[in-house]
Amino acid sequence: MTDQPRVHDPNASGLILGPDVNLDVPAGGGQMVDRAVPGDSAAQYEYGLEIEARSQWGYARRRFMRHRLAVASVVVLACIFGAGIFANYIAPYSYKEIPYVTIAGTSVIDTSQILAHPSRQHLFGTDSAGRDTFSRTLYGIRTSARVGIFVGLLSTLIGTIIGGLAGFYGGWSDNLLMRMTDLFLTLPLLAVLLTASKFLDSSTPTTLAILIACLIWTSIARIVRGVFLSLREKEYVEAARAAGAGDLRIMLRHMIPNSVGPIVVAATLTIGTAIALEATLSFLGFGIRPPTPALGALLDEGQEAGLDKWWLVTYPGLLIVLIILCINFIGDGLRDALDPTQRRVRA
């Protein structure tokens, strides 16, 4: 009979503990409480140690929290998007409210509020119609965030389906789907978007988001295909196939969960791309149209008012740059955190 390893605790008056006893030490100090493994016949002990296992997601969370720029970007982006979501409660005015004054019993537009400089009453000044730019910027954040998130979800879904099928089956399916992907990649993105938005009603955020998502899923499809080509040769996939699991079950239960890291990173960066494209189309007059506020549309209205009205383009433009920078930093942090081969964490 082989000897079982034992643990000796010098603080327990010479008590010898068996290998199956799991004891817990409170993190903050104080009295130590024992935890015996279920089924163990050992008596309850007063002192001992417990080692807590940490999951892969726990390690990923720790690596992400050490990426200072990514964590700071999450906070900043949450504040910006939160301000847009709760614009109804934060904005001091409605995005379409025009100031009026009553003269001789008749309501007329208050011309003194047209193109007013930033002040306490109007933090970002007013536009050519006298509307509060700060309020319109908050509502514009909501529109841009809605488009970006919707595009991220839809393009990720399309790219995951096409890339997953191509990587899992290979052969003629892979050639057909990848040649279609290459065809989309050769298209001039901005020119196609401008042409399509001209013939389609892209003035609403949902329609514009669908149009953008149908053209920028290609990078996600190529990433998912590469991951699936690697995973389909793994032992657990062969074991699931030998156990009688169908193709759909193998992909949903085994391959997609192991592809979450690259998919999440690609989806995050796609949101930033979508917001930039929405701002570009709205600035050129082919995207969100007035009176619906959008950051790109605000830039278009500002440049029409003239370069001397700097506040009309400065604040929306800075917000677009800040949002895209934060999304890129978050994607960089997620890539480092979700990469199992990553050992060095950048600050």
pLDDT tens digits for range 106-122: 776 777 778 888 888 88
Q: Where are the beta strands (DSSP E) in 169-285?
A: none
Q: Which residue has the higher pLDDT, 113 or 139?
A: 139
Model confidence at 138, in pLDDT bands (50, 70, 90)? very high
CATH numbers and ranges of domains, the chain: 1-52 (no CATH), 61-338 (1.10.3720.10)
Distance, in Å, from the CA atom of 299 to the CA atom of 321, rounded to the nearest integer, reads 13
Distance, in Å, from the CA atom of 249 to the CA atom of 129, rounded to the nearest integer, reads 58
What interhelical angle do 311-338 and 133-169 show, nearest 10?
A: 30
- Average pLDDT score over residue span 317-324: 92
Model confidence at 337, in pLDDT bands (50, 70, 90)? confident
Instruction: Report CA dihedral (144, 150, 154, 157) to the nearest 10 degrees.
Output: 120
Model confidence at 6, in pLDDT bands (50, 70, 90)? very low
Query: In the predicted model, is pLDDT for residue 28 greater than 60?
Result: no
- Cα 93 to its chain centre, rounded Å, is 29
Burial 101-113 (b: 16+ CB within 10 A, else e): eeeeeeeeebeeb
Model confidence at 13, in pLDDT bands (50, 70, 90)? very low
How high is the mean pLDDT of the chain? Answer: 79
Percent of the residues in the chain that have a pLDDT greater than 90, as a whole number: 27
pTM to 2 decimals?
A: 0.76
Q: What is the pLDDT at residue 341?
A: 57
Sign of CA dihedral 17, 18, 19, 20: negative
Query: In the predicted model, is pLDDT for residue 195 greater than 90?
Result: no
Q: Side-chain half-sphere of 136: how many Cα atoms within 13 Å?
A: 32
Query: In the predicted model, is pLDDT for residue 297 greater than 60?
Result: yes
Largest CA distance in the chain: 108
Model confidence at 233, in pLDDT bands (50, 70, 90)? confident
Q: Is the CB of residue 81 less than 8 Å from the CB of residue 148?
A: no
For the record, the structure tokens of 157 come out as 């879904």
